[in-house]
Amino acid sequence: MFKSIQITTAILLIFNLFACKNETANVTGEPLPSGNEQATNVTGGTGNISFISKEKIILNDNTEIVLPKETDTSSIVFYFVTPAENAEGQSSLSENGLFRSQILTTVTAKAGLAMVYAEGNSALQTVTQLARANYSELNVFKAEKAEDTLKDLVKTFKARKVMVCASAPVVAQMIGQLTGKPAPAVPATENNNIYVIISKGIGDGEVKIINY
């Protein structure tokens, strides 16, 4: 069942990306930022991601967020995102959603992700390509298992980097659980944020909100 979902998702992504490869619209229908331009339609973040590597996150203003070394077995890096935009009345991505997914893949292709987790069909479509770009394992989980899933990830993936793509309420829940603090607002309509947490365990982490 899961393999058939992956195959169908891959076909859909490839078809739509070839059909739309000459478009330059983002999720608001405005031109995408290029080079060091700041996107004018994003809110709530602390900067715009230019690139994520295994060692650091580079923002468009050349600010760098240094990540723990791969030999640091006390920490784990989490990237939380919400699914890209759906087609109206469907659980599959719209054309703009496919573009958003492509942007996410571009900025995270060299992030060194060990594991990618997706909650639901839209999330699965959003992260399938980036999981392949990172040669990382891709798994699905159910919303009601979010708490247990996070505990397992913290226990298993020390010194690794993990991405979780889930609905806004689930992302908020997992961030709150991981940081031990009230979770930041995670608007369902803002699917261009990456919530970055460098954690040493459940209840020990700080969240940085960055736009992509």
pLDDT in tens, the chain (212 residues): 434 444 444 444 443 433 333 332 222 223 323 332 332 233 334 568 889 999 999 998 888 999 998 888 989 999 999 999 988 888 789 999 999 999 999 999 999 999 999 999 999 999 999 999 999 999 999 999 999 999 999 999 999 999 999 999 999 999 999 999 887 789 888 889 999 999 988 998 888 988 88
The CA distance from 170 to 70, in Å, is 28
Q: What is the pLDDT of residue 49?
A: 87
Q: Is the pTM of this model over 0.85?
A: no
Number of domains in the chain: 1
Residues 6+ apart with CB under 8 A from 168: 82, 186, 187, 188
| The pairing of beta strand 76-81 with beta strand 193-201 | antiparallel
Instruction: Check if the beta carbon of residue 17 is closer than 8 Å to that of residue 128.
Output: no
The CA distance from 208 to 53, in Å, is 16
Q: What is the pLDDT of residue 184?
A: 78
Q: What is the pLDDT of residue 41?
A: 30
Structure tokens at 177: 């659980």
The dihedrals phi and psi of 37, each to the nearest 5 degrees, come to -70, 145
The CA distance from 107 to 112, in Å, is 12
Residues 6+ apart with CB under 8 A from 50: 36, 58, 59, 60, 107
Label each residue of the chain as H, E or C.
CHHHHHHHHHHHHHHHHHHHCCCCECCCCCECCCCCCCCCCCCCCCCEEEEECCCEEEECCCCEEECCCCCCCCCEEEEEECCCCECCCCCCECHHHHHHHHHHHHHHCCCCCCEEEECCHHHHHHHHHHHHHCCCEEEECCHHHHHHHHHHHHHHCCCCEEEEECCHHHHHHHHHHHHCCCCCCCCCCCCCEEEEEEEEECCEEEEEEEEC
Residue span of the structural domain in which 207 resides: 2-211
The separation between the first and the last C-alpha atoms of the chain, rounded to the nearest angstrom, is 32
Q: What is the pLDDT of residue 88?
A: 84
Which domain CATH number covers 136?
3.40.50.1240
